[in-house]
Amino acid sequence: MTINKIFKIIMLLLLHGSSMVSFSQEWQHKIMIDSLEYYHRFQIRQLSNGNFLSPAAHVLRESTQEPWYTESPAVILISEDGEDLARNNFFRPGYCTISYSCTFEKGDYYYLLTTYSPEHFPGSFNHFENYDNPPSDAKLSLLKLDKELNLVESYDHSWPIDTYEDHGGSWEIYPNGFSGNIYLFTAFEEDDNIVGAYWKSVSFDNPSRGDDTLFFFRMNFDGKILNRKAVDVLEGKSSADTRGLRVNRYRGDHFVATDSCYIFYRIGNTTNGTNASACAEYYDKDFNFIKERYLVPDYIPGYGDYDLRNITVRRSNHNTTYLSTQIRSYENPQHDEDVRLYEINDDVNSTLPYLEKVKYIDRGTEEWDHTSLLSSVDLIDDSTLCYVTELYCGFYTSLDSWIVIEHLDYNLDTISTLYYGVDNGMSENLYDILRTKDGGVVIVHGSSSLYEDYAYYVVTKFPASAFGFVNIEEAHAHGLKVAVAYPNPGGDVMNIRSGLRNAVLTVYDMQGRKVHQQIITDEVTSIDASKWSSGTYVWELRAGNGSGNGNGSGNEILESGKWVK
C-alpha cells in the first residue's frame, strides 16, 4: 500500500472541528474534518455534575503539503446537553501519543493519564530528529487540570525508549506503531489510587531487537507511582507482530479488578504462541503473577479453533466478566467475521485450566461485522445490560452499515433491539458506549460517507425513553429503527433483521402488488427474491393480531422501509 493511499484513508476516517445538532431529548456532538487539525480517539465518561469529559488526541500538521500529522494528548468537555464547553491539547516538541488516554475526576480537579513517545513520522514537523536535543525517552504522565481544562501540574515518569527506525521495512507503513513507544491500556480508580497497565515496545527489526514488555502500576493522584512491576508475558515471541500485545494495540478495555485480584485479558496464549484463544492472566494486588487460563472457542471442522480478535472486557455485577470479540464466521471462516459476547466465569479459585463459558450470543451478517473499539457493554442494573455492535460493514467498512443497540437480560436473551444509522450511505464505526445517570445511552461512533469525501466522529445521546423501548414512535423520533433490510441494494436474497417476533412481514412492488408475506419468528429472516424483477420494493412489519413483542397492537405498522434489487 502506498503512502498516498494510506494518507487518503487516514484523511477519510479522521475528523475535527465542532458542531452540535439538537433533537427533542437527544443530542449529537459532531467533530468534523479539517485539513490541518482535528480531534479524535474519544472515550466518554460522565462527571458528577452531569457533563461529559472525554480524553482525545489532537491531530496537527503545519500545512496541507506536509504528509503526516502529529498527535498529542487532549481533553474535551461537553455539557449534559451536548454543547462544547472547553477543550485543550498538550503538545510537546518531538513527542506524540499513540494510545488512548484516561480521565478521572477528583475533588476540584480533572486528571488526564496519558503517554508520550518520540514522534517517528518522518514527514511531520514534529519528528524527533528535527530537534537539536531529540527525545530518547517515553513518558507516562498524569496531567492535573482545572475545571476549564487548563494544566495545573504535570507528573511525568520517563524511561529510555528504543528510537531505532527501519527505513526499508514495515516501519514505513506505520512508523509510530513499528518503533519504540509506550501504549496505555485501560486504567481505573481503586481505593483512591489509579491502577493501570501500559505496554513498552521496541522497534520492529529482523532479527528482533528484543521483547516488548507489559507493566502494571499503581499511582496516587499526586502522580507518585506506588508500585510498578514488569510482566514477562511475551517470552519466546520472535516477531513484533506475534508478541501478543501488538494485536491488542487499539483496544482499551482489557483489565478488570475483583475483590482479591486483577485479571488481564489478551489475545493468544504464551504456551503455543498462537492467536487461537484469549488468555486471562491473574495477578494479586501487588501484581505478582498467580496463573493463567485460556478461553478456547468452538472448533471449525477442517479449519481449527475460532480465531478471537479485538477483545474488550467489562466486569458484571455477579463476579463474572463480559468479553466482546470478533470471531471467524462458522459458515465462511476464511472471508467473514461475526461478533460474539461471552459471559465468562473467571473465578481465580477455579482449578480448571480453561475459562468457563457461562453463555454467549452471536451476531453477524454475511459481511464483516465489528465490535466496539473500546467498550461494547455497559450495565443497566443488576440483571440487564446494553450491548452495542456494528453490523454489515464489509472488510474495509465499505458498505452501508448500522449500529445495533441491544437491551439484554441476565441470560443474554434479547429484551429489545434498536438500529441506528440505517440506509444513509454512511459507514458507521463504533468506539464506546456509556449508560448515563438519567438512564439514557451515549455512544461514540464515526460516520464516513460512502459516496463523498467527508467523515466525522460523533457523540450521540439517546434518551431513556428511546432506549427503554417504551414505544416504537419514540424510537423513530430519535433516528432508531426496530428492523432493517439488507444487503441494500441486494440480489437474489433479501434479509430482514429484527428483534421483533411474530410480526407479519409483507413486501410490495412499486405498483403496490404484494410479492411476499410471512410471519417473522427469527432474528434474521431470509427471503428468496430470485424471481423478483429488478427494482425498488417496499416492506412492512405489522403487529398482526396484537403480536409484536409488546411494541404494538392491532395491525399497526411497526417498521417499514425500501429495498432495492
For the chain, the average pLDDT equals 84
Task: Look at 258-262, 270-274, 407-411, 426-430 and tell me which has the smallest mean pLDDT.
Answer: 270-274
For residue 333, what pLDDT band results from cuts at 50, 70 and 90?
Answer: confident
**What tens digit of pLDDT does each residue of 45-98 get?**
999 999 999 999 999 999 988 888 999 999 999 999 999 999 999 999 999 999
Residue 528 has pLDDT above 90, yes or no: yes
Averaged pLDDT, 114-142: 95
**What is residue 233's predicted lDDT score, i.e. its pLDDT?**
54
Averaged pLDDT, 426-431: 85
Task: Look at 116-120, 305-309, 544-548 and tell me which has the smallest mean pLDDT.
Answer: 544-548
**What is residue 25's predicted lDDT score, i.e. its pLDDT?**
47
Give yes or no for a contact between 208 and 201, defined as CB atoms under 8 angstroms apart: no
Residue 187 has pLDDT above 90, yes or no: yes
**Which residues is 139 bridged to in the sheet?**
116, 158
**What is residue 239's predicted lDDT score, i.e. its pLDDT?**
42
Residue 315 has pLDDT above 90, yes or no: yes
Averaged pLDDT, 441-457: 85
pTM of the model: 0.87
Report the range out of 260-269, 272-281, 335-344 with the highest average pLDDT.
Answer: 335-344
Of the candidates 256, 290, 292, which has an alpha carbon nearest to the alpha carbon of residue 272? 292
**What is residue 268's predicted lDDT score, i.e. its pLDDT?**
65
**What is residue 396's predicted lDDT score, i.e. its pLDDT?**
72
Phi, psi of 414 (to 5 degrees): -75, 125
Averaged pLDDT, 515-522: 92
Angle at 364 between CA 363 and CA 367, to 5 degrees: 165
In order of 19, 215, 239, 451, the CA distances from 457 in angstroms are: 11, 31, 34, 17
Is 362 strand, coil or helix?
Answer: strand
Could you tell me where the beta strands, DSSP code E, fall in 304-425? 304-305, 308-315, 321-328, 337-345, 356-363, 370-371, 377-379, 385-391, 402-408, 414-420
**What is residue 467's predicted lDDT score, i.e. its pLDDT?**
61
Residue 469 has pLDDT above 80, yes or no: no
Give yes or no for a contact between 81 and 144, defined as CB atoms under 8 angstroms apart: no
Pairing of strands 27-31, 84-89: unpaired
**What is residue 468's predicted lDDT score, i.e. its pLDDT?**
58
**What is residue 14's predicted lDDT score, i.e. its pLDDT?**
34
The single-letter code of the amino acid at 520 is I
**What is residue 238's predicted lDDT score, i.e. its pLDDT?**
41
Which CATH code fits 490-565?
2.60.40.10
For residue 401, what pLDDT band results from cuts at 50, 70 and 90?
Answer: confident
**What is residue 20's predicted lDDT score, i.e. its pLDDT?**
34
Task: Look at 15-19, 59-63, 103-107 and tell me which has the smallest mean pLDDT.
Answer: 15-19
Angle at 273 between CA 267 and CA 274, to 5 degrees: 55
**What is residue 301's predicted lDDT score, i.e. its pLDDT?**
67
**What is residue 71's predicted lDDT score, i.e. its pLDDT?**
96
| Bigger pLDDT: 395 vs 230 | 230
**Which residues is 417 bridged to in the sheet?**
406
Angle at 161 between CA 158 and CA 162, to 5 degrees: 175
Domain residue ranges in the chain? 1-33+378-481, 35-250, 253-364, 490-565
Helix (H) or strand (E) segment spanning residue 5: helix 3-13
Residue 500 has pLDDT above 90, yes or no: no
Rounded to whole angstroms, the Cα distance separating 339 from 323 reads 11
